[in-house]
Amino acid sequence: MRTRVVSALLASFLALPLVLTASCGGDDDEDAEPFDTLADCYDDHHNEENLSVQEAIVVCCIDHPIAGEHPSCGATAAACVTHVTTELGSEAAAAEVDAACAAYVDELDN
């Protein structure tokens, strides 16, 4: 009887991390907050959370649905630069946008 109790406890300890992972949702992308515009997302991540320009752009483009699009900044660096420049205007310098879009495309490829 004691062996069964020990076996049951051991099995529950081994299974507990799997249950917690499944219940907490392993895929964060599905739960990411959607934004109406890239500017709204950028403002939240750059101005409110103090992420760098590059980090904020990449997070918004990769992690958050923007106007229903996910990922939201196109399939190429050029498309990303056009989209981000149009959406953010002068909020970010061209060199920062270029670097962010290169990082975004690298993330897409991985």
What distance, in Å, lies between the first and last C-alpha atoms of the chain?
Answer: 51
Q: Which pTM was predicted?
A: 0.72
As a whole number of angstroms, the distance between CA 89 and CA 85 comes to 5
User: What pLDDT is attached to residue 30?
Assistant: 55
- Does residue 71 have a cis bond before it (omega within 30 degrees)? yes
Low-confidence residues in the chain, pLDDT < 50: 5-29
